[in-house]
Chain A
């Protein structure tokens, strides 16, 4: 009975957050199979620690943090970079201009790791700067810097002329 209740709550959480967790893992690993493995392992850990979860509000950030830790563990085990191959080829869940999506994904791929992580947590996870800071163990100000740099770098890569003009204006 207790097991069933716990299982139902866990399945509900996975149902709500799996897609974003997968996408987060995908952009960390930049590989579909590796991302699936990372999320699967993260969810196994989450299930094992489920009874220790006290704050339902913290559930989402808890799951993202586990995925992040699992990614770090996976990097130590395998050379993730060696598996990168398909970032540009993966279909989007939203209707997008394919050429701009490909360009953007290329730009995301070469984004510095720290900036990319903060951006992923903000765009995919919808977390605030303070929450991202808590998850990555950095100050809120540092998160703001990373986010600003990430977007500037992406736009610089995609719209060098336009962005240069805007940057000059601002």
Chain B
């Protein structure tokens, strides 16, 4: 390396000078002085360029870069979440919930029906006919064989308690002439299905082992 090459290199990339350059400078007084001044100048240049970074600038920049993006990123997440929420709400609304009265019908069948039959008073066919007429329903033959008919207390009133043996299993009817109902209500519990449906000025509770049997019974009752 000669003096010219060293000086060119020192001016171009003073921080990249190699061993050969320093070896030359060791043996060349003029280049040694030149190199010392060049490195001194470079050090001053670095000092002048390395201005102080304003306090908090980095944090502000990161915050500004990520925050809107973070707000943007969840845009699609928010849409998806909104959609899921809407579906969940729809399901919650549409999902059949156990109506307390229908649930009471199931509890009656499970816990009280047997005792009610044991404690039954003699059947009063006229009372049954009266209630059936009052409710505007029918007890057609297709319903099945009526195994038990009798009044019994239910939900604070006296219901006509009917037990029928259908092709699809046992069905319990609770005819409630004094219990008006605005809308049909359902419940599912303890392996039983229950529907309470408005009928005339009262309502009828139908409790069976399958929804199909309940629906079929409901249809037959209203076939009059």
Contacts and interface: CB of A to CB of B under 8 A. Distances in A.
Interface of A: 3, 7, 10-11, 14-15, 18-19, 22-23, 26-27, 32, 36, 39-40, 43-44, 46-48, 90-97, 100-101, 104-105, 108, 120, 122-124, 128-129, 144, 147-148, 151-152, 154-155, 158, 162, 166, 169-170
Contact of B58 (A14, A100, A120): A14
B53 A47 contact: no
B125 interface: no
Contacts of B58: 14-15, 18-19, 22
B contact face: mostly helix, strand, loop, or mixed? helix
B133 interface: no
The 7 closest A-B pairs by CB, nearest first: A96-B47, A104-B48, A43-B65, A93-B50, A18-B58, A47-B65, A44-B65
B156 interface: no
Interface residues of B, number: 35
Given A3-B70, A122-B13, A162-B37, A36 B48 contact: no
Contacts of B62: 10-11, 14, 43
A40 B58 CA distance: 8
Interface in B51-82: 51-54, 57-58, 60-62, 64-66, 68-70, 73
Nearest to B47: A96
Interface of B: 3-4, 7-8, 11-13, 16, 30, 34, 37, 41, 44-54, 57-58, 60-62, 64-66, 68-70, 73
B13 A36 contact: no
A69 B54 CA distance: 22
A44 B68 contact: yes
A154 B34 CA distance: 15
A18 B11 CA distance: 28
Contact of B44 (A3, A101, A152): A101
Nearest to A108: B48
Nearest to B41: A155
Given A151-B11, A152-B11, A123 B49 contact: yes
A101 B11 contact: no
A22 B60 CA distance: 12
The CB with the most chain A CB atoms within 10 A, among B8, B12, B34, B68, is that of: B12
Contact of A92 (B41, B47, B54, B69): B47
Given A40-B65, A47-B65, A19 B70 contact: no
B3, B34, B52: most-surrounded residue (chain A CB, <10 A)? B52
A105 B47 CA distance: 10
Given A47-B66, A129-B13, A154 B45 contact: yes
A18 B61 contact: yes
Nearest to A144: B12
A104 B45 contact: yes
